[in-house]
Structure 1
């Protein structure tokens, strides 16, 4: 049986990941739908979470770090009174409490979880411990205690409050765990809690208006038109427009002199473009562009 050759297609899909699907499964699905040579995602979403999962295909995978490092926004529900092994609805209940916090107490506690704080990641996370994923160790029955680490929460708002459940909206930076926040917020209010609903509503400048469902992608008569160019990942960085000759030189790993009165002398991170397409990511030193990551034309 002759296998169909993979396509050297490149671009971004901002997927509205459905409930119950892992990020790895979502990437595999998109790669299969596009028959792409390679694919990757910019920021894991738990299977029980929904919302924005940016997925890169082909050469666009080289721009994944620039989306992965962007800010994120989440909507989540916190159920009061019980803590689970996974800090969400997937795990077994490990502690309970009869305490149900008052709305004014919840609002007063939020200030302590805004800004740069120390946060202990959940045991069921993708963080590596001696080369093993923490969730693999936890599922094997090993006690996993991860060290607290600094995270930044830009905004934390109580949207609605009930006796047993409250909804929050949060804007945060890379590395923040919503499940840990829910656990710690409940403990600060002398109770226990876990996440029962989690939705990512924004990431690195993308919003729900940019997201596509799997059903929309599958039904599209021409899926290629749904792809966004690799350049969408570079919007926060300065752009250098280069000539055709310079683009060819850069793609071969060459360093080019930047000409013109407005040409920068030094920039720590910048991307070079030709006709709007990403040629390379690199830096400017002494008026020369030095590529560090080159994208094929």
Structure 2
């Protein structure tokens, strides 16, 4: 029987809320953060295009188990639409496919915005990570194929026009999972009869994280740097990590004792007590001394662990 290899890296866990710069891909960002922390494991909670900047939540270690909860969180984007051209990628990276000398007035833009607010049907861009017949749409598009991507339901809770200057308009939206801002620019441009594409895009929030949680690559590099000839300063860089449990603000919380935490980590259910304890919940998180112990279900006054975390 083959022996398991020793895990490479440190068992550091938690969230790094990276302010991703323009030009860096999401996979590249994860690799950079994993290296900076010398972490055993890392992953991100929602791709951000290389031409976009802003919030890319990156999970380290045990926090990777909480990625789905962050992926489902509401997101806030601030973006500029350039009018007059539709492009293959629906942003600056692609080639122009349609052009117009028309430019929309602010009044005309505001008049169509309600159409894009609430629950709407949206067709993802040709250059997207949507899978068509087992292949990514962007791989098919790069090969010259035009594929039929079915429209899907997305939700835009807030849609604000921030500034309009003739050729360009700055917007801010709060939206749910799966919304493509590039599709918004494309579809609005078509409705307005002038075409449009994304010129700038920045993600400012991914619930439950806020801009106060931002950290840059430069800040992380500075924190990690030890004196010349010395080992990296992991104590300083680890201070920039947000606790794993912060990703689970959407779940009911049960505070437990150290003894109960030991039982849960062994896979055993526990009786929960307390006037404010939830009675029933499909999912809840158990916390001991402010640290995440497990995600589980509450049934008949008992917490039953489904996913246990190593503190």
Q: Could you tell me which residue of structure 1 aligns to residue 304 of structure 2? A: 290
Q: Show the counterpart of 1:281.
A: 295
2:208 and 2:246 in contact (8 A); partners too: no
Matches of 1:287 and 1:207, distance apart in 2: 34
Moved more, 20-29 or 162-171: 162-171
Question: Which of 9, 34, 38 is the aligned partner of 1:35?
Answer: 38
**Aligned pair partner of 1:257 in 271, 287, 293:** 271
Match of 1:62 in 2: 65
Does the CA contact (< 8 Å) of 2:117 and 2:159 recur in 1? yes
Structure 1: stretches of 5+ with no match in the other structure: none
Structure 1, 147-156 or 135-144: larger mean CA deviation: 135-144
Partner of residue 282 from structure 2, selected from 250, 254, 268? 268
Per-residue deviation, 1:261: 4.4
Aligned partner of 2:240 in structure 1 is 226
Other structure's SS at 1:176 match: coil
Of 218, 221, 237 in structure 1, the residue corresponding to residue 251 of structure 2 is 237
Counterpart selection for 1:168 from 161, 167, 171: 171
Greater Cα offset, 265-274 or 40-49: 265-274
Report if aligned partners of 2:7, 2:40 keep a CA contact under 8 Å in 1: no
Question: Where do 4+ consecutive residues of structure 1 move more than 4 Å?
Answer: none
SS at match of 2:239: helix
Give the distance between the partners of 1:252 and 1:142, measured in 2 at CA: 52
The one of 100, 103, 107 aligned to 2:106: 103
Kindly report which structure 2 residues correspond to 1:71-86, keeping only aligned pairs within 5 A, or say none.
71-86=74-89
Encode CA deviations 1:17-75: one digit per residue, 9 max, x unaligned. Answer: 00000111100100000010100111110000000111110001111111111111111
Q: CA deviation at 1:4?
A: 9.5
The whole-number CA distance in structure 1 between the counterparts of 2:279 and 2:173 is 39
Equivalences for residues 161-240 of structure 1 within 5 A = 161-221=164-224, 222-240=236-254
Residue 158 of structure 1 corresponds to 161
Q: SS where residue 220 of structure 1 aligns? A: helix
Moved more, 107-116 or 246-255: 246-255
Distance in 2 separating the partners of 1:194 and 1:145: 20
- Does structure 1 conserve the Cα–Cα contact (< 8 Å) formed by 2:87 and 2:96? yes
Aligned partner of 2:23 in structure 1 is 20
Q: 1:119 aligns with which of 119, 122, 139?
A: 122
Unaligned runs of 5+ residues in structure 2 are: 1-5, 225-235
| Deviation (angstroms), 1:262 | 4.1
Distance 1:17 1:77 in 2: 18
Aligned residues: 295
Q: TM-score, normalised by structure 1?
A: 0.96
User: Where do residues 141-156 of structure 1 align in structure 2 (5 Å cutoff)?
Assistant: 141-156=144-159
* Contact residue 127 and residue 138 of structure 2 kept, 8 A: yes
CA RMSD of aligned residues (A): 1.4
SS at match of 1:9: coil
